[in-house]
Structure 1
Amino acid sequence: MASGLIFDPRTLLRTAPLITSACTFWYSLDQDFFLNIFLHPDHCTRSNEFLPSYFRTFFGFGTLRVLPLLVLTLTGGGYNILMERRSGPAVSHLLFVLAIAPKVQAVIEDTSRGSSTKDLERWLTIHRVRTWIVDLAS
């Protein structure tokens, strides 16, 4: 099996960024759709009340869903970089963590004191930029 006749692990490492990036892109589109519902004028007042609690729960489980994808992307991307193949867009998804993390934390900790939808709106703006520029490109 190590010979690659039946299963070639190098092929898996080469294609991993494509597969994981496609999954990340789909998940990003889902997040945008479902979280944007909280910003609808009919829901804003109630959203401000429960959004911090929702985000604590959402990102606890959501992080566990995304981390394996990111690890596989980094592993496959690192392999491809070493083998002189392009994986920059797939790996660059992580660069947005620095911009997104403070927005997520602001919602979780309710730093805006009852205006969490404004923090969510800022987060979704960065999220959309990342989705359409980085995730789609990868």
Structure 2
Amino acid sequence: MSILHLVPVVTSTVSLWFAFDQFFFLGIFLNKKVEPNAKDVITPYWNTMINTGLPIVIAPLLGTIASTIAIVTTTSEEHLRQKGSFSWYIASIALAAAHFAFVPIILPKIKGLQNGGLTPVLRRWMGIHVTRSVTVDLFCWITCIVASAKTLSA
């Protein structure tokens, strides 16, 4: 089999790891010892992260979608169905795309943080971020692993 079948595993792992990084590093601003002084740092930190980090968030998601679509279109559907991986690949595509469904919900929080929103806004963003990471990113990663393992099994 082609190395292409491992690409969604790698790209979804990157997405999930970046989600964890965001939770960890942004969560520091919500620490009781840091929060009182966070107001001077949150907006510049957030603007720098969004301006430089947005491609890092989007690229692996698009990589997961594109590589999985490439697998489904270049590998015999019959073969994928025999291996039991076809529906897992379709679920991977749907879950990676579902990450973008959170944009309308999270965009006002992002704009708030870019415009001087403080820890209450960050706390709301983190709540949505955790929900998205667990319901979409984690399950996307799992489906990519299962799909690839089934396809590449003997």
Smaller-chain TM-score bracket: 0.7 to 0.9
| 2:95 is the counterpart of 1:89 | yes
Tell me the TM-score normalised to structure 2 length. Answer: 0.71
- Provide, for residues 17-74 of structure 1, a one-character-per-residue CA deviation record: whole Å limited to 9, x for no partner: 3221111111111110111110111111211222111101111111122222122122
Corresponding residue for residue 98 of structure 1: 104
Selected match of 1:65 from 56, 60, 70: 56
Q: Partners in 1 of 2:36 and 2:16 — Cα distance?
A: 30
Unaligned stretches of 5+ in structure 2? Answer: 78-85, 141-154
Deviation at 1:109, TM superposition (A): 0.8
Question: How high is the TM-score relative to the length of structure 1?
Answer: 0.79
User: Which range moved further: 79-88 or 32-41?
Assistant: 79-88
- Match of residue 120 from structure 1: 122
Name the Cα RMSD after superposition. 2.0
How far does residue 80 in structure 1 lie from its aligned partner after superposition? 4.9
Corresponding residue of 1:56:
47
Asked if 1:41 is matched to 2:32, the reply is yes
Q: What's the secondary structure of 2:32's corresponding residue? A: coil
1:23 to 14, 20, 34: 14
> How many angstroms apart in 2 are the aligned matches of 1:96 and 1:130?
7
The total of aligned residue pairs comes to 125
Distance 1:109 1:20 in 2: 31
Q: Indicate conservation of the 8 Å contact 1:24/1:66, yes or no.
A: yes
Q: 1:15: how far off? A: 3.6
Per-residue CA deviation, residues 68-120 of structure 1 (Å, 9 max, x unaligned), is 2122122124335655532222221121122222211100112x4xxx11111
